[in-house]
Amino acid sequence: MTWSNPACYGTNVADAFRQVGIYTARILKGAKPADLPVLQSTKFEFALNLQTARILGLDVPNAVQLLADEVIE
């Protein structure tokens, strides 16, 4: 995630790597890549950078801060 943004929402990288491992295992066991389903991320992360928000003059409500997976003071 880019920490120069006041807020960032994106896929969970650890979950994406886990999905890559599952695909790799299926291919190594003989599955054809064209036969594998397309998987979309199911886990996402929401991060807030309060330092950047303050510099930009943004006020982030406490309710939004509580929703964030990670908050940088």
Q: Is there a domain that residue 2 lies in?
A: no
Residue 3: what pLDDT?
55
* Count of positions (residues) in the chain: 73
Residue 1 lies in a domain: no
pTM for the whole thing? Answer: 0.67
C-alpha to C-alpha distance for 2 and 72, rounded to whole angstroms? 12
Asked if residue 16 is part of any domain, the answer here is: yes
Q: Which domain holds residue 40?
A: 7-72
Nearest-angstrom CA–CA distance, 11 and 37: 19
Q: Find all residues with CB under 8 Å of 46, minimum gap 6, and list them.
A: 7, 8, 9, 67, 68, 69, 70
Say if 35 falls within a structural domain. yes
Per-residue pLDDT of the chain (73 residues; tens, 9 = 90+): 445 788 889 999 999 999 999 999 999 999 999 999 998 888 999 999 999 999 999 999 999 999 999 999 8
Number of domains in the chain: 1
- Residue 66, domain member (yes or no): yes
Q: Is residue 36 domain-resident?
A: yes
